[in-house]
Structure 1
Amino acid sequence: MTSPRPSRRTDFTVALICALPIEFDAVALAFDETWPGNQFGKASGDYNAYTLGRMGSQNTVLVLLHKMGKSSAATFLCGVCGGVPNPSRDVEIRLGDVIISENVVQYDYGRQYPSKFAHKTTVSDTLGMPVKKIRSFLAHLKTDFGLSELRDQIPNMMEQIQRKAVANGHWSKYLRPGSHADVLFRANYLHRHQHKRDCSCGKETVCDEAINASCADLQCDPAYYVLRRRLSSRIQEKSGRQATSDTSKSPPEVFLGTVGSGDTVMKSGEHRDMMAQQHGIIAFEMEGAGVWDEIPCIIVKSVCDYADSHKNKKWQGFAAMAAASATKAVLDMPTAPTAPTAPIATTTVSHTTETPSPAFIVPYNENPDFVGRSEILERVKDLFGHSDTYHRPGSRPRSRVALHGLGGVGKTQIALAYCYWFKERFQDASVFWIHASNVERFQKAFSDIARECEVPGHSKDEVDILLLVKKWLENKQRGRWLLVIDNADDTEVFFPVKPIVEADCRATSIGHSIPECSHGSVLITTRNKQAGLKLGLGKPPIEVEKMTESETTQLLRTLLEDESVTPAEASLLSSRLENLPLALAQATSFILENSISIKEYVGLLDKSDSSMFDHLSEPFEAVGRDTETPHALTATWAISFKHIEKQKPMASDVLYLMSFFDRQAIPKQFIWDYCHETLENALYSDDDSELGEDSENDFQIDTDLEVTQALGFLQAFSFISKAGDDLFDMHRLVQLVTRKQLADRGAMSDFATKALKIVRKVFPLGTHENRVLSLQLLPHALAVLEHSEVTIEKPLREDAWLSREVGEYFYRRRQYEAAKHFLRAADLYSKLFGPEHDTTLTVLCDLAHTYMRIDRTEEALELALKLLEADQRLRPKDTATILTDKRLTANALASLGRFGEAEPLYLEVWSNRKEILGEEHPSTLTAVDGVASLYKSTGRLKEAQELSTGTVELSKRVMGEEHPATWKRMRRLSKIYTEQGNYDQAEPLVLETLEARSRVLGESHPDTISSLKDLCDIYCQMGRVEEKQRMDRRVLEAEWADWSM
C-alpha cells in the first residue's frame, strides 16, 4: 500500500535521528515506504543526510546526524548505546536490550579510562523535563498494558527488518550473536596487554594498540567474567528452574530510565558504575544531550556493549536493528507522541495579572529555642541568591540546595528556621513543606497544596496531582516560592531503577515531580548524602555537622531557661552526647521533668552503656519534629539503620562490625578483610552450590567495590567519617546504639567475635620493631578485648593470644597495664588448655616478670615458686625450663632483700648452664648477670666488677655490640664504676650505650631515657653543671615524646 507523498514540511509528524551509518541503515529498513529526493531543500550549512518516507501511519524524516536544527516534529533518537550491567541489585541489563529514556543527564566527561580523562571535569545538571506529549507517552509506557503492547510488537518488527535485510543481500548483518558473545568483565579489569613487555600498558594504563585490539588478541582472562543470571541456563537448570527458551533467541527486554549523554565514548567500567550510581543512569550514549539542547526527544536505543574498555562491535548490527524495531513498534502505538499534521486552532485563555496571595503551608510553628547555625543559614541564602549581599561571579543562584547529616543533628530545625526567615524576608512569597519519607506522604503533601491553594483541576478524577502541582508552581504567575522537602532519605522513593515490567508508575514519577524554575527554590533535608546529591541535581549538599561548644552552651541555656549554665557544665553534657542538638534537647527534657542538675544527669549517663542507651531512648516533645518521626535519638537512628539494611545490607554489617572497634582511626583494612571473607563464604556456601563446580571461573569477588560502596553508604548517612588515608571515625553514640541493636537481635557475640579475629589477624608481635604498628592498633585491640569479656560466650584462642600480645606491648613500655592482660591471657589459656599446659605456664611466667617490674615482688615470688614446683613435677627432665624458674625465683628473692636464699639459686643456675651450654652461651651469660647483680646489691663491688667486665666483652663478641642484652651489661658495669666513684671509667660506657640506644631505639624509648638519666647523674657527681642541664633538657624532651605516644 502506498501513500501520497507529503507536499509540505509540516506534513511530517516524526523525526528519527541516527548518528552512525549502521543505525541509519537499520532504521531505513524499518520504513514501510520511502520517497526519493528532497523537494523541500536544506538550510545553508546543513550537512545532514535526510531520507523521507512513511513508517506505519506516520510521515517520517530520517536524519543521519551532523548538526541539529529546530523542528516541530516529534523526535526520536534511535541507535546503539552502552548499557549499565546492573543499575540496581535486582536489575540486569544484557546486550541487545532496549533502553527508552525517561530523562537525560549530561555527564560530559570525555573519553574515560581509569587513568585517562578528557578536559572537562564536572557533571552538568539534568537537561530539563520532557515535553507534555512525551511525558504522557512515557506514563502510558510504564503501565502493564502499554509495556505489553510494545513488547508484543518488537519481535514482529525485527522479523520484518531481517527479511528486508536478507532480500538486500545482508544475510548476517543484523543477526543476534550467540550468548557466548555476551561477556561482561569485572569493572576494574582493564582491556590491556596482559603479557607484552614492550608497551605502555600497566595496571591503570592502556596503550593505543590495546585499545583497538579484541579481547581474544589481548588474551583477556575469562576468570574475570561476571556471572550473568539471565544468560546462564546452566544455573537455572541446577537450581531447578527449567529455562523456557534459548536465551540467544529470546526477545529483548525493555528498560525505562535515565540515559547518560557525553561528548565522547564511555570506555571505563569503574567510571561507568560511578556515574550510574551517582545519577541513576541505566545506559550511556553520545548524542542525546546535543539533540535535547535543540529538541526535547525520546531516546530509543539498544545495548551493544557494556560501556567499558572491552567494548567491541559484534553486537552493533543486532542492537541497531533492535532499536529500529522498538522505534517502529512505538510509532504503531496509539499513544505515540507525534506532531499534528496541520496547524491546530488555539483557544486564547485569559490569565489574570493579579499577583496571587502568598501561601504558607508549613506544619510547624517557629521554634523559639532555635540557636546558632548562622554559617549554614548564610550559606543557604547565598546559594539560593536570597541574600541581600549575593554576589558570586561566574555562577547563577541554585534552584535546589540539600542539607545532609546524621539523624538528630538539626537539619529539619535549620530548614524550619529558614522558612520563617524567608517568609519575613519575602512577604509576597509562598512557602511549602513536603514530608518525603515515603511515596504516600509525598503525594499527600502535594494534594494538600492543591487543595489549600485551590489549584485548578485538582478535584477532577484521575488527575495526576504531582504533575498538576508541579506545573502550577512552575507557572511564573505564582511568583517567588520556597519548597522544603524534608526527610528525603530513601533514594528508591525518588529514583527507582527497575525494568519497567516491575516499575511502579506512581513511584518512578516522584523524583521528576519536583518543580524546577527560576522563581522557585527547593530546600532538601536528608540523612543520605547520595540522595542529597541526586535531588540537588549533582551539586554537593551542605553537610550539617555537630554543634560547636558555644552553640551547645547557648542551646542548653535556652532550653533550660537558665543563663547561669556555665560553659564547663555545657561541655560536660555535650561531650557525652557528641554535641548533637536532638540528644541535648532530649537531655534537657529529662532534666526539667525530674528537677535534677546537669552534673546529676551526666552521672546517670556514665553508669553504663545500657544506662545511656535507656536515657537516649526516652520519648519527648519538641517543636519542629514530625509526629510520624520518632523523637528519641535512638529511634531516629533506627530509621537510618533500616534504610541502610534495605539498600545495602553489606553496609549495615560493616556498621555492626565497626561498633566493636575503637571509634577513632578504624583502618579500612579491617573492613576489607571482613567483606572479602563474607563474600568468599557466600560464594562457596552450600546455599550457592547450584552454581556448580565451575562457578569460580564465572565469578570473581570484587571486594574493593563492596568496601567502597559500603563505606560510601555509611559516610552518606554520616554514621562514619574519613579520618585520614584509609582511616575512619565513628560517632561514640552511634557505636552504642548500633551495639544495642545487635543485642536486641541476639547477634552481639557473632560480630564481637568477628571483630576480635580481624584485630588478632593484624596485631603484630609485641617486639620493639613493631612498636609503631602496635601503637596504631592498640586502641582497637583494647576495644575488642573489652567487648569480648561481656559478649563472647566461650573462650577463644584469638582472645587469649591478643591479650598476651597486648600485655607484651605494655611490658616493653614498662606500663602497669601489662599485668592485667597477662593475667587475662593466663586465665583464658587455662580454660582452653588447662592450668598446667605449657602455654598457660609460659604466660604465668610473663606475668611474674611483669610483677617484678611493677614492684609487686611478693606476688612475683609466689608465681615463681608455683611455676618451679609445676615444672619439676610435670617435666623433671626439662632442665632449661627448671633453671629459668629458679633464676626467676632468685630474682624475686633478691628484690625482697633475701640475698642469702637467692645466692645459691643464682650459683646453681650459672654452674648448670656453664656445664651444659658452655661459658659463651647467651643463657650462661644471663646466669652470670644474676650473680653479678647480687654481688652489686650486697656491696661486693670488686667481684661484681670482675664478672661484669667479662660478660660485657663476651656479650659484644657473641651477641653483638647493638644487642639490648649487651647494653644492659654495659649499664650495670657503669653503675658499678659510679658506685665506686670511678666516673671517668663510667662515662664512656654510658655514652657508648646512650649513642647506640638512641640510634637503634630512638630518643624517646624508655631504655634510652634511662641512659640519659645515668649520664645526668655522672655529670652531677662530677660537677659538670652545664652538661647536666643540657642532659636534663634532653630527658624532659624524650619523656614528653614518649608520653605523647
Structure 2
Amino acid sequence: MSREWTVENSSNLVNAAQDQRIEQQNNYFGTQPNVHEAVNRYLFTVPGFLLDDNFVGHRTLVRNVSENVKSSNKCALHGLHGIGTSRVAAEVAKRVHRDPFDSVFWFDAANVTSFLTGMESTADALSLIQKRKKTGETSTSTLYANVVKIWMESDQSGSWLLILDAADREATSSNPNRINDDESSHFLHHLPRCSTTPLRTILITTGNREIAGNWCLPNRPFEVPFLERPDAISLLRTMSGDRGSPEQDAEYLVEELDRNPSAILTAAKVIWNLSEEGGSISTFLASFRKTKGRSFVKKICKGNADGVLCRNTVSLTAAWCRSIEEVQRSTRATNLLYLAACFDATRISRDLFRNAFTWDDEALRVATTKLRNYRLIYQSPESRDYCMPRLVRATVRNWIDQLPQESETVPTLLKWHLKALQSLLATYDRLAPLNGQSLIKAQAERRSLLPHAAMFQQFCRIRKCTTRLREDHFRAIVVFAELFTLEGRYQSAIDMLGFAMESNVPDSTWRNIALLRLAENLRNQTLVDGQSSRLDKALDIIHDVRRAPNDVVARDLDSTFALIYTDQKEFKKATHYQAAVVRSCRQEFGSRDPETLDACLEYSTIRRRDGHQKEALKEQKRIEGLLQEPLLSDEPGSALRLLRTRAAMVRTYYSLNMLTKAVDLARKVAKGREDILGASDMKTIGSQRDLAECLLDQGTETSVTEAIEIYEDIEKKLREMFEPDHQEVLACIAKLNSIRTGGGFVDAEAMEA
C-alpha cells in the first residue's frame, strides 16, 4: 500500500532496520564470535573485461574521480551510453584498491534483480553462505543481500568502495514507495551505509545527468566526455590492427563514430574480422558514410550473434533505446527528439527547434533538458547550438522506422521532415542580408544549412512516389539548390532541382523558378566538364517555362536566355536578351541601383566575348567608379560586387593582351576574395585560376613557376572539397600536367571556360 514518505518514516525505517539486522546476524551467524575473521577482507569484484590494457584517454578525469572518492561518500559518473563511464569507474577502482580502500565491490544496478544477483555472488565470494549450503537450507537473494549489507557495515569489513554500474532511478531513489510498494525489493533496504571512518564510499555510473546530480548532492557529478581525437585514433588503430590506412581516414571515422569508445571498439572488431578480405579503416569509412551509419547501428542491435561485437558494446543501442523509452513519457520531448533526428548537421540551432514548434522558451527548455539528461542531445560549449551524436541519430531513425506506419509507403519520419523543412526555411529567411549587414556573412551562415540538403533529397524522392510536392517543397528545392550552387556543386544542384521538373504541378510559381535555376546549373556544369548537350536541354526548359502561365518575371527568363546563348556563342541573341534585362532593371530600380549595375556588367561580358573588348572595358570602368562612390559603397555586399567587376576587367585586359595590368588586378581580386570569402571558396579559386592563366601568358620562367605553384595550391583545396574523381579535381590535374609538358598556354576563350 502506498503511504506518504516523511522524515519520521525514514527514522522509523532505520531503527527497524537496525533491529532486524541484529536479529538476522544472531540467527545467521549463530554464536560464532569470530566468523568475520575468516572472510576475505581484500575483495575486488570489478568485471575482468573492463580491466584490459586497452584503456585510453580520460587521464585527468580518472585522477579527479580517484581523489573525489577518497573525500566524498557519494560520487557519480554520467555520460552517453557507451561513452566509457564503466571503464572510467574500473580504472578508478584499480587506482584506489588497497589504498585507501581495502575492498572494491562492483554491482550491476540496472534493476533490483541484477543488483540482488550481484549481492548473492558477493556473499558467496565472502564465504557468507557456506553455512546454509552445508545444512541444505535455501535462502532468497534478498536474504543474501541483507547478510552482505550487515557484513559491510560491520567493523571487520574495513574500508570499501561500492560501485553501482548503470544505475537508474530505481537504484538511487530515496523513496521506496515511488518505485515499488514492496519495500523489501527496493535498493534502499540493501545498500550499506557510507561512512568517513572507516572510509566507505558509493560511486554510481549512469546515463542520466539528473540521476547523477541528485545522487551526489551537494557535490557535482563528473561527466565522461567523448575521447580526445588522438586517443580515439590510437584506440581504433590498435584494436583494428590497421596501421596503413591514411591518417585522414582514421580521423574521419572516429569523428563519424562520435569518438565513442564502445562504437570504436565495435568498428575495430569488424575491420579486424574483414582484414583478410581487404577490410580496412578506409573501406569501413566508405561503407559507413554510404548508409549514414544506420547499417552499423543495426549490426550493433543484432548483438553478438555473428561474433562481431566486443562484449562491452552489445547493449550500446539497447541502452539508447531505454533512454528513448524514458523520453517518450513526455510528448514534447518526444517530438523534439524526432525532429532533431531529421537534421544531418552536427550543430542544430536553437532557432530550428523554436521555429518548428509554437512553444514558449520555458516549454522549449523543459523539453531540451529531458533530452540532455540522457545525453541524446548536448549543448556545444562554444555556442548555444545543440548537437546530436551521429550514432544516436541513426538509432532514433531506426526506432522511428519500427513504429506503426501511417502509410505503407511513406515512413513515419516524413512528418518530421516537414517540420524540419518549415524550420529550415524560417531560419533561411532570418539569415537573409539586411541593410548594413554583410552579404558574405549571411551566405556563410546560410551555408551551415547545407548538410540538411541530403535528407531533403531523400524526402523528395519518397514524396514524389506517393503524393505531389507542395509549393513550400518547391521553395525548399530552390533554397537548397542555391546553397549547392554557391559551393560550386552544380551537379548536386541539378539533382535537387530535377525533383521540381519531375513533379508536374501547374500554376506553381516556385516550381517554375526551380526550373529556371535548373537551366542555369545545367549551364554551369557545362562550363566545368564541357558537355555542351546540356545547353540544348537548358534552352528547352526555359522555353517550357516561358509558355507556362505563371508569375515568374520576364527578367529572370531573359537573363537565363542570355546566359545560355552566350555559352552557345550566339552573341547577338544573348545581347538582345541581356539588353532587355538592363532596360527592365533601369525602369524598376534606376540606373545607379546595384541590381542594374549587375545587369550592365553581364551585358559588358557578352560584348567582350563578341569581340567588342574596348567597349566592354569602358563600361566596366564606369561600373567600378560608381561602386566606389559613398552612396553605393555602403550597400550590403558592395565589396563583393566591386571584386566581381574587377574580375571581369581582368578577363577584358587579358583579351586585349594587356597582361601586366591583368596580372596586377588579378592579384588584388584573388586576395580580396580570399579575405572575404575564404581560401576554399570557388569564387576565390576562380580568381586564382585567372591569375595563373595571366602569368602563364606572360611566358617568363618566374611567372610560369608561380602559375604552377598556384595550380598546385588549387589542386590541394579541390581534393579537400571533392572526391578524387570529381571533374574539378581531374581538370586541375590535367591542367598541371599540360603546363609541365609545355602545353599550358591558353587563348581567351579557354580562359573563359
User: Normalising by structure 2, what TM-score?
Assistant: 0.68
CA offsets per residue over residues 1007-1045 of structure 1, 9 Å max, x none?
A: 688778879999999999999999999999999999999
CA offsets per residue over residues 459-501 of structure 1, 9 Å max, x none?
A: 999998766654542222322333221221x224431669889
Q: Given residue 161 of structure 2, which amino acid in structure 1 is its aligned partner?
A: L
Query: In the aligned structure 2, how far is the partner of 1:1000 from the partner of 1:570?
Result: 32
Query: In the aligned structure 2, how far is the partner of 1:929 from the partner of 1:967?
Result: 12
Query: In the aligned structure 2, how far is the partner of 1:982 from the partner of 1:665?
Result: 48
Residue 409 (structure 2) aligns with: none
Q: Given residue 7 of structure 2, which amino acid in structure 1 is its aligned partner?
A: S
Q: Tell whether the 8 Å contact from 1:803 to 1:822 is kept in structure 2 after alignment.
A: no
Greater share of strand: 1
Query: Is it true that 1:101 corresponds to 2:33 in the alignment?
Result: no
Residue 28 (structure 2) aligns with: none
Pick aligned residue for 1:474 from 153, 178, 185: 153
What does 1:438-587 correspond to in 2, within 5 Å?
A: 438-446=111-119, 449=122, 453-454=127-128, 469-488=148-167, 490-495=168-173, 505-506=183-184, 510=188, 513-518=191-196, 519=198, 520-547=200-227, 577-587=257-267
Query: In the aligned structure 2, how far is the partner of 1:539 from the partner of 1:897?
Result: 75
Pick aligned residue for 1:432 from 101, 105, 111: 105
Pick aligned residue for 1:640 from 319, 323, 326: 323
Residue 418 (structure 2) aligns with: 753
- Residue 947 of structure 1: how far off its partner (Å): 5.8
Greater share of helix: 2
- Alignment CA distance shift 1:649-1:626 (3 Å): farther
- Alignment CA distance shift 1:512-1:773 (3 Å): farther
Pick aligned residue for 1:703 from 363, 368, 379: 363
CA offsets per residue over residues 786-815 of structure 1, 9 Å max, x none?
A: 45246656435444323312322343x3x3
SS in 1 for 2:201: strand
- Alignment CA distance shift 1:742-1:955 (3 Å): same
Structure index of larger Rg: 1
Residue 735 (structure 1) aligns with: 393
Residue 76 (structure 2) aligns with: 402
Query: In the aligned structure 2, how far is the partner of 1:558 from the partner of 1:968?
Result: 51
Q: Tell whether the 8 Å contact from 1:371 to 1:551 is kept in structure 2 after alignment.
A: no
SS in 1 for 2:342: coil
Query: Is it true that 1:712 corresponds to 2:372 in the alignment?
Result: yes
CA offsets per residue over residues 914-971 of structure 1, 9 Å max, x none?
A: 9988994978877765664344224334454566667777888999466577775666
SS in 2 for 1:656: helix
The answer to which structure, 1 or 2, has the higher relative contact order (CA under 8 A, 6+ apart) is 1
Pick aligned residue for 1:817 from 475, 478, 489: 489
- Residue 901 of structure 1: how far off its partner (Å): 5.7
- Residue 866 of structure 1: how far off its partner (Å): 2.4
Q: Given residue 665 of structure 1, which amino acid in structure 2 is its aligned partner?
A: R
Q: Given residue 86 of structure 2, which amino acid in structure 1 is its aligned partner?
A: T
Residue 858 (structure 1) aligns with: 532
Q: Given residue 805 of structure 1, which amino acid in structure 2 is its aligned partner?
A: V
SS in 2 for 1:659: helix
Query: Is it true that 1:894 corresponds to 2:566 in the alignment?
Result: yes
- Residue 598 of structure 1: how far off its partner (Å): 4.1
CA offsets per residue over residues 592-624 of structure 1, 9 Å max, x none?
A: 77765542666665552443233222322999x
CA offsets per residue over residues 367-394 of structure 1, 9 Å max, x none?
A: 6744224735544443334xxxxxxxxx
- Residue 586 of structure 1: how far off its partner (Å): 4.0
CA offsets per residue over residues 627-679 of structure 1, 9 Å max, x none?
A: 9x982432343233334435x554444333222223522223333445x53xx
Q: Tell whether the 8 Å contact from 1:803 to 1:824 is kept in structure 2 after alignment.
A: yes
Pick aligned residue for 1:658 from 330, 340, 352: 340
- Alignment CA distance shift 1:558-1:753 (3 Å): same
Residue 479 (structure 2) aligns with: 805
What does 1:357-376 correspond to in 2, within 5 Å?
A: 357-358=39-40, 360=43, 362=45, 364-365=47-48, 369-373=52-56, 375=59
Q: Given residue 712 of structure 1, which amino acid in structure 2 is its aligned partner?
A: R
Query: In the aligned structure 2, how far is the partner of 1:995 from the partner of 1:789?
Result: 40
- Alignment CA distance shift 1:945-1:577 (3 Å): closer
Q: Tell whether the 8 Å contact from 2:164 to 2:205 is kept in structure 1 after alignment.
A: yes
- Residue 506 of structure 1: how far off its partner (Å): 4.4
Q: Given residue 505 of structure 2, which amino acid in structure 1 is its aligned partner?
A: F
- Alignment CA distance shift 1:1042-1:571 (3 Å): closer
Q: Tell whether the 8 Å contact from 1:404 to 1:525 is kept in structure 2 after alignment.
A: yes
5+ long unaligned stretches in structure 1: 1-90, 92-96, 104-129, 141-348, 386-396, 681-699
SS in 1 for 2:82: coil
Query: In the aligned structure 1, how far is the partner of 2:153 from the partner of 2:62?
Result: 25
Q: Given residue 750 of structure 1, which amino acid in structure 2 is its aligned partner?
A: K
- Residue 749 of structure 1: how far off its partner (Å): 1.9
CA offsets per residue over residues 243-284 of structure 1, 9 Å max, x none?
A: xxxxxxxxxxxxxxxxxxxxxxxxxxxxxxxxxxxxxxxxxx
Pick aligned residue for 2:296 from 605, 609, 612: 612
Query: In the aligned structure 2, how far is the partner of 1:1040 from the partner of 1:558?
Result: 30
Query: In the aligned structure 2, how far is the partner of 1:398 from the partner of 1:926?
Result: 70
- Which region of structure 1 is more displaced relative to structure 2, 448-457 or 751-760? 448-457
Residue 384 (structure 1) aligns with: 69
Q: Given residue 476 of structure 2, which amino acid in structure 1 is its aligned partner?
A: L
Q: Given residue 372 of structure 2, which amino acid in structure 1 is its aligned partner?
A: G
SS in 2 for 1:403: strand
SS in 2 for 1:434: strand
Query: In the aligned structure 2, how far is the partner of 1:365 from the partner of 1:973?
Result: 72
- Alignment CA distance shift 1:511-1:713 (3 Å): farther
Q: Given residue 424 of structure 2, which amino acid in structure 1 is its aligned partner?
A: V
- Alignment CA distance shift 1:995-1:356 (3 Å): closer
Query: In the aligned structure 1, how far is the partner of 2:287 from the partner of 2:698?
Result: 59
Q: Tell whether the 8 Å contact from 1:723 to 1:729 is kept in structure 2 after alignment.
A: no
Query: In the aligned structure 1, how far is the partner of 2:242 from the partner of 2:587?
Result: 80
Query: In the aligned structure 2, how far is the partner of 1:432 from the partner of 1:622?
Result: 32
- Which region of structure 1 is more displaced relative to structure 2, 521-530 or 491-500? 491-500
- Which region of structure 1 is more displaced relative to structure 2, 928-937 or 950-959? 950-959
How many residues align? The count is: 669
SS in 1 for 2:449: helix
- Alignment CA distance shift 1:532-1:1028 (3 Å): same
Query: Is it true that 1:771 corresponds to 2:469 in the alignment?
Result: no
CA offsets per residue over residues 707-740 of structure 1, 9 Å max, x none?
A: 452243133xx65453422123332222111211
- Which region of structure 1 is more displaced relative to structure 2, 408-417 or 562-571? 562-571
Q: Given residue 373 of structure 2, which amino acid in structure 1 is its aligned partner?
A: F
Q: Tell whether the 8 Å contact from 1:399 to 1:517 is kept in structure 2 after alignment.
A: yes
Query: In the aligned structure 2, how far is the partner of 1:996 from the partner of 1:574?
Result: 36
What does 1:922-933 correspond to in 2, within 5 Å?
A: 932-933=604-605
Query: Is it true that 1:840 corresponds to 2:505 in the alignment?
Result: no
Q: Given residue 540 of structure 1, which amino acid in structure 2 is its aligned partner?
A: R
Pick aligned residue for 1:788 from 443, 452, 459: 459
Q: Tell whether the 8 Å contact from 1:955 to 1:966 is kept in structure 2 after alignment.
A: yes
User: Normalising by structure 1, what TM-score?
Assistant: 0.52
Query: In the aligned structure 2, how far is the partner of 1:998 from the partner of 1:567?
Result: 29
Q: Given residue 434 of structure 1, which amino acid in structure 2 is its aligned partner?
A: F
- Alignment CA distance shift 1:507-1:409 (3 Å): same
Q: Given residue 845 of structure 1, which amino acid in structure 2 is its aligned partner?
A: L
